[in-house]
């Protein structure tokens, strides 16, 4: 069997669907059997009438009930939002590598909907502080387990993005490892600070995906490994990469 084998397919039942911020929703699906998921792994959702599945990070896993957080963007997320309790949803996964969890003093950073895998990871760590950043107070995810909240406009918590004063926080808190998920510029900045202060960074990357299983090469990024630049697929080799290995363009 090759590494690109098709991962498990499930028909899960919608348990809960609720709005958790002005633009985001939480949906919990009952898989009917216990499912093992590593924080950072994602599921791919078949959205009625659309050819390509849509990927979402796992936000919670309670004994076979898997939750995701999603922001409504286009037809796929509009379809998911339209589902009702008891409807069936077609899922592939969980897929991807997930975070390599270390027993180290950790700083966790989630920006926007990137808080989803970071919140899930926080539950598994004993020594971690979680910074969550949102555009404004209306975008804050209800019930998020963050230790510190930032808003770009200062309408709640500390004013600025999660990276505005990050260098000062790193110097003060002195983490041994940083885990993060969020927009490209946030991840790139964290990777650069990790290199500057010799701190391991593990970053959950996002790329628009097609097959989601490492076949089409549509989600390739460049990484520096074994002394040379190589291709890596975000869907199968990632989505989590060491910040020091990514070629940031």
Shortest separation between residue 216's beta carbon and ligand FES, angstroms: 3
Residues 64, 35: contact at Cβ < 8 Å? yes
Shortest Cβ 47–ligand FES spacing (Å): 16
Taking CB under 6 A as the rule, which mask of x and - marks residues 220-249 in contact with ligand FES?
-------------x-x--------------
Partner touching 215 among ligand FAD, ligand FES, none, CB below 5 to 8 Å by kind: ligand FES
Rounded alpha-carbon distances, angstroms, from residue 230 to 41, 77, 225: 22, 33, 7
Question: What are the C-alpha distances in Å from 197 to residues 57, 232, 243?
Answer: 28, 26, 13
* Residue 159, beta-bridge partner list: 151
> Which one-letter DSSP state was computed for residue 246?
B
> Could you tell me which stretch among 69-77, 78-86, 90-98, 215-223 binds ligand FES (CB under 6 A)?
215-223
**Residues 24, 28, 31, 35: what is their CA dihedral angle, to the nearest 10 degrees?**
80
- What tokens were used for 30? 């009952």
Under rule CB under 6 A, residue 7 binds ligand FAD: no
CB of 110 to ligand FAD, least distance (A): 10
- Token digits for 128? 């971690």
Q: Does 28 bind ligand FAD (CB under 6 A)?
A: no
Asked if 215 touches ligand FES (CB under 6 A), the answer is: yes
Q: Which residues bind ligand FES (CB under 6 A)?
A: 209-212, 214-219, 233, 235
């Amino acid at each position: 069997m090759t590494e690109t084998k098709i991962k498990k397919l499930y028909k899960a039942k919608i348990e809960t669907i609720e709005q958790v911020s002005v633009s985001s929703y939480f949906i919990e699906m009952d898989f009917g059997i216990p499912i093992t998921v590593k924080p950072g792994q994602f599921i791919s959702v078949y959205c009625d009438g659309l050819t390509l599945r849509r990927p979402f990070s796992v936000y919670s896993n309670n004994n076979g009930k898997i939750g995701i957080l999603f922001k409504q963007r286009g037809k796929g997320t509009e379809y998911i939002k339209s589902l009702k309790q008891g409807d069936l949803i077609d899922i592939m996964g969980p897929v991807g590598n997930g975070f390599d969890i270390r027993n180290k003093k950790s700083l966790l950073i989630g920006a926007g909907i990137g808080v989803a895998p970071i919140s899930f990871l926080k539950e598994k760590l004993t020594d971690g502080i979680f910074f969550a950043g949102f555009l404004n107070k209306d975008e804050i995810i209800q019930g998020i387990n963050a230790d510190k909240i930032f808003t770009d406009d200062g309408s709640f918590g500390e004013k600025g993005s999660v990276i505005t004063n990050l260098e000062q926080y790193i110097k003060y808190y002195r983490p041994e490892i940083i885990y993060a998920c969020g927009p490209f510029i946030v991840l790139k900045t964290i990777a650069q600070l990790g290199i500057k202060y010799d701190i391991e960074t593990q970053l959950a990357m996002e790329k628009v995906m097609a097959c989601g299983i490492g076949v089409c090469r549509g989600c390739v990024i460049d990484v520096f490994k074994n002394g040379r630049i190589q291709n890596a697929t975000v869907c199968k080799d990632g989505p989590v990469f060491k910040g020091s290995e990514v070629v940031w363009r």
